[in-house]
Structure 1
Amino acid sequence: MSTWIVRFTANEVGRFLNRWSSPSRCLDPNISTPPPKKSSGCGKKNLHAQLTEIKAAHPDADVQLWAMDEHRLGLHPILRRVWVDNWFGLLSAPVHCRYDWFWLYGFVHPRSGQTYWWLLPRVNIDLFNRALADFAEHFGIGPKHHVVLVMDQAGWHTSDQVVVPEGLHLAFLPPYSPHMQPAERLWPILNEALANRVFETLDDLLERVEQRCVQLLNLTDFISGLTQFHWWRAFQC
């Protein structure tokens, strides 16, 4: 099975192919899962305080507020309802359920609607570190340009092994709060290009996702309106 590391920018689309195996999954109900983290994360007030602190510590630097999330895509079809002229007619959706997948890493700047995408075979600390390093390099994050990146408290986000580039600051949302994550709004519009379709291989699906990501790069006004929550506008960055 092929694996890939694909990077999308406004000027380039690259692909890196390797060999990989799907990670095993344990479905044994007798194995207990660890309790959820008790960290409160950064609510609206804490996020405002973090931004204020960073701006005060770096008065000459430009500070932006971004968000990121991961989305799993695979050969299991995405089914959606469709409008029909005659409800007596029977419509069928093609279904061929298979369980191979990859992950889409999405970064969004809600104020401008700018997006940045990575396609990766899995989620783990090493790949998360690569994505952060490339994100920082691409946008020139450093002493004069700081970015606060809002994300959830997934284990590969909060690990002590995460390497955070200079000028990048991670802000974690409270547990179970996807409604506070602007990047969550990216996935329904991404799925529009995949719904009610069957892809024979992951490469076929990957090609369609690439095309959709490139389209979304140019829809900055639409994405800004979709992801810039009313309370997010108050940050002005």
Structure 2
Amino acid sequence: MRREHPDKDVELWCEDEARLGLKPIARRVWALEGNRPTSNGRHKFESVFVYGFGHPSSGRSRFLILPRANAACMGQALADFAGWADPDRRKVLVLIVDGSGGHTAKKLVVPPGVVLHRLPPCIPELQPAEHLWPLVREALANRVFNTLDELTATLTTRCHWLTQHTTVVAGAVGFHWATEHDGYRSI
């Protein structure tokens, strides 16, 4: 990429989406011996999708909450990301993505300056962005939300917190192979 675009900086980013909904996320909790902790469980299948972008070297991140995971929403997320990460269009943004339908659809509109690098199938452990989701879900654990608006408000607060705490994000997505390659450090 650097040889193809010698006049531009090349940045390596990762992206993934997660479905989060009204069905509670149960986690272990401490309780006194002999006392069983209460747990809220119900089956509500309303959900939203969080699109997460992470920069492995710096920990910068961007999150969008959208109603679906499809080519149209992915195109919307990519356009928002490109405008935020490179408003002057002076960079090439290489984005590591998995092989989900929204990433491979023929109708997907990829903005100029963004290059999608698709990982081979069935290896989610190589996708740095997969490690964003435990950080996001932490704010939802052992909580019950009655509406998508309540859930979205909590998600928005958590995602904003993550964007402000780059060291937390870098610790999650900063895979060694994504932060150093060919003797260069990603910027």
Normalising by structure 2, we get a TM-score of: 0.93
- What residue in structure 1 maps to residue 2 of structure 2? 55
The equivalent of 1:78 in structure 2 is: 25
Report what 2:67 is aligned to. Answer: 121
Distance 2:68 2:28 in 1: 29
Contact 1:141 1:166 in 2 (8 A): no
In structure 2, C-alpha distance between the alignment counterparts of 1:127 and 1:189, rounded to whole Å: 22
Tell me the residue number matched to 1:93: 39
1:232 and 2:178 equivalent?
yes
Instruction: Give the aligned residue type for 2:179.
Output: R
State the Cα distance separating 1:133 from its structure 2 match. 1.3
Q: Which runs of 5+ in 2 are unaligned?
A: none
TM-score by length of 1: 0.74
Q: Which amino acid aligns with 1:83?
A: W
By how many angstroms is 1:141 displaced? 5.8
Show the counterpart of 2:141: 195
Look up the match of 1:214: 160
Distance in 2, Cα, partners of 1:156 & 1:95 = 31
Identity of aligned residues (%): 43
CA contact (8 A) 1:141 1:147 kept: no
Query: What secondary structure does 1:209 align onto?
Result: helix
Structure number with the bigger relative contact order (C-alpha 8 A, sep ≥ 6) is 2
The ranges of structure 1 where at least 4 consecutive aligned residues each deviate by more than 6 angstroms after the TM superposition are none
Q: Is the 8 A contact 1:102 1:121 kept in 2?
A: yes
Unaligned runs of 5+ in 1: 1-53
1:142 CA drift (Å)? 6.6
Counterpart contact for 2:162–2:168, Cα < 8 Å: no
Query: Offset at 1:232?
Result: 1.9
**What is the CA deviation profile of residues 188-235 of structure 1, one whole-angstrom value per residue up to 9, with x for unaligned ones?**
111111011111111111111111011111110121122111222222
Aligned length: 183
- Give the root-mean-square deviation of aligned CA atoms: 1.3
